[in-house]
Structure 1
């Protein structure tokens, strides 16, 4: 079967370093054909020039705090059969698109979503979930790693994450893309509900993985303390107007207030916020709720065909995956070896083990090396014991088995 052409849309604003790392990952995908569409501010455009990518990707200059409007601009010039989305503070595994597009092997699948790992590169932020008309998500217990096609139940939708999802362009175009009323928060959830309302099925593909860092922005600090809750309030009010019966609104809003207050007080207890911040943020939440209740909802006309030809990106990856493993004490030499291999186009996994029980962490470096550090006797997943004895060769083999399909090692 011929692989579908995919347009990958990335929106970036005021996070040039994160965009650079995201593009490092996107430029080394084990997939073809795909194009990259970047919707970004001036800082983002400067990153493209610095990386020498300005002639290899499609771009839209945009510097407004509205992710839905930005994504729609990206969809407008996307020419692929499938449009995939990833955030600028995320990096994809090399086989991300190979796995994500498996969901579209079902002709009836309108969308496909994968799993998202957190900032330590090990634990999951999100896996399979459903969402209801109040915007409340619930986990789906899926067994194994095989793709699953799911049809939404009455009043619920299959949840996909905005940083790891794909939709057929024809379906996106017909729906008018993302609703600009959602500047931030619940933007993809609204799309999920609209897909469900039309009876569209969604595939969940566990092995389509991205690593998401929750980077700092105008809305949250590096320590994840909120800087503003206006958009959360506004988006919640709009979502309820669109999808939830009026009689349930008061209860949902009361729950939102209680949850956000509890979170704010936890941040204050831990020293990340001051009492005045709690008062200010609470007021901003209320202002957003009030604005969302009366906001004029824009019409969402069908998005026309892209005026641009498909621009296939020539991946820097050769398709060859290698593993370099050793003791942390030899990290300088091992890192130099890993960088040299990455420069040839290899997908390089570098395993650095200390003689300890430290938990493991994974990151993609700016040199395009997947570096995993941790104790030789430490856990790399929550299911493993905190300590267990192992030799270097055995532990290396275990970690390779854990990441083989995501990193393309099963084809090596």
Structure 2
């Protein structure tokens, strides 16, 4: 399969710093033909203009409304790739993200693809693969191994694509009219997934197509994931059930969702993050949204036309030169990170693994300087599935972590 041209669409609002980090990660993608489409408010577009690696190299679309569906459609209208891939502004892709994500499209039945999402720890998965039903119920789909799998579910169900890690054939998504703008936030992907499933399309599940999701604060939640406003959740749920549920009773799934949100808020209250009055106040926003959602008309989405501008292939200022792994003791951090920074400036993808003589769990992140850094104990776990303590020699542990990230970051051309 010849690598299809891909348009990567990033929607951003009120988070210019997060957008800058996301772009830094996108600039390190190892893929032969992709463009970047940034849909953002004025502050976000200013970031694009002030980053020398991206000014004039990406498509910028001005958009400043609190409506994720409409923003994604604005990006779709500008996208000229055969495939459109979406990532959130508070996420960073692994360098081989697109190479893996497009593999499913070799099957002509496939119209959508999704991968795994890594949470704030940088080593544990936040989302793997789930299905969604016409009643807005989600459940985990069993997945074994890391091979791409093509799925078609039964009537009233669909594979759920994660909004920060999903791709579609442009002609299919545009033909459906893109995302329904009645979903300002929440369930907009599930709506598209069900419409694609109803039209007979399959979805590719690609475990190695991975992005790191930071869960940045927004008008709806704090940076510790405490919900502060559930209005859009309640409203979108009402729209979704009115549009998709074949059962006349839509109050039962709504009560179940409200109960789930209540339990999450109570857990935060018990942990001391919020007070009892915050639980009551936030649930009232859900109730208000549920009521308003009954009056909100879902869109009869019209097809989106051809791209508004030709394909603009992204070309980094410095050619990519491969993956380098740097190992070090915790006390060597300053020198190892400086070496990583210099290698990044020469076009390398760099992973720095810094180990302390402890069993401390590992954490990883993409640094603003452009390298990946993983810290933890020599004997500690690098993920929830590993033993809490395990004996290691330093060289062997560096080799273990090198092998773990190689499938998503590339086999290292050098290890130091």
TM-score by length of 1: 0.98
Counterpart in 2 of 1:47? Answer: 47
Counterpart in 2 of 1:190? Answer: 191
Counterparts of 1:142 and 1:227, CA distance in 2? 34
Counterpart in 2 of 1:21? Answer: 21
Aligned residues: 412
Deviations 1:350-372 (A, max 9, x none): 00001111100110000110100
**Alignment map for 1:130-169 (pairs within 5 Å):** 130-169=131-170
- Does the alignment pair 1:302 with 2:303? yes
- Equivalent in 379, 386, 396 of residue 398 of structure 2: 396
Counterpart in 2 of 1:364? Answer: 366
User: Structure 1 residue 282: deviation in Å?
Assistant: 1.3
Counterpart in 2 of 1:334? Answer: 336
Q: Which segments of 5 or more consecutive residues in structure 2 lack a partner in the other structure? A: none
User: Structure 1 residue 124: deviation in Å?
Assistant: 0.5
Q: Is the 8 A contact 1:28 1:317 kept in 2?
A: no
Paired residue secondary structure (1:177): coil
Deviations 1:181-207 (A, max 9, x none): 111111111111111111100101110
Q: Which segments of 5 or more consecutive residues in structure 1 lack a partner in the other structure? A: none
**Alignment map for 1:202-213 (pairs within 5 Å):** 202-213=203-214
**Alignment map for 1:86-165 (pairs within 5 Å):** 86-165=87-166
- Once the two structures are overlaid, the 10-residue window that deviates more, 262-271 or 385-394, is 262-271
- Once the two structures are overlaid, the 10-residue window that deviates more, 166-175 or 259-268, is 259-268
- Once the two structures are overlaid, the 10-residue window that deviates more, 124-133 or 320-329, is 124-133
RMSD over equivalenced CA pairs, Å: 1.2
Paired residue secondary structure (2:248): helix
Counterpart in 1 of 2:3? Answer: 3
4+ residue stretches of structure 1 with deviation over 4 A?
Answer: none
Counterparts of 2:386 and 2:233, CA distance in 1? 37
Paired residue secondary structure (1:299): coil
- Once the two structures are overlaid, the 10-residue window that deviates more, 198-207 or 254-263, is 254-263
Counterparts of 1:139 and 1:248, CA distance in 2? 24
Counterpart in 2 of 1:379? Answer: 381
Paired residue secondary structure (2:249): helix
Paired residue secondary structure (1:247): coil
- Once the two structures are overlaid, the 10-residue window that deviates more, 258-267 or 56-65, is 258-267
Paired residue secondary structure (1:294): coil
- Does the alignment pair 1:320 with 2:322? yes
Counterparts of 1:139 and 1:246, CA distance in 2? 23
Q: Is the 8 A contact 1:30 1:317 kept in 2?
A: no
User: Structure 1 residue 389: deviation in Å?
Assistant: 1.2
Deviations 1:33-68 (A, max 9, x none): 100000001110121122122311001111111000
Counterpart in 2 of 1:346? Answer: 348
TM-score by length of 2: 0.97
Paired residue secondary structure (2:312): coil
Counterparts of 1:319 and 1:340, CA distance in 2? 13
Q: Is the 8 A contact 2:321 2:346 kept in 1?
A: no
Q: Is the 8 A contact 1:146 1:205 kept in 2?
A: yes
- Once the two structures are overlaid, the 10-residue window that deviates more, 255-264 or 330-339, is 255-264
Counterpart in 1 of 2:291? Answer: 290
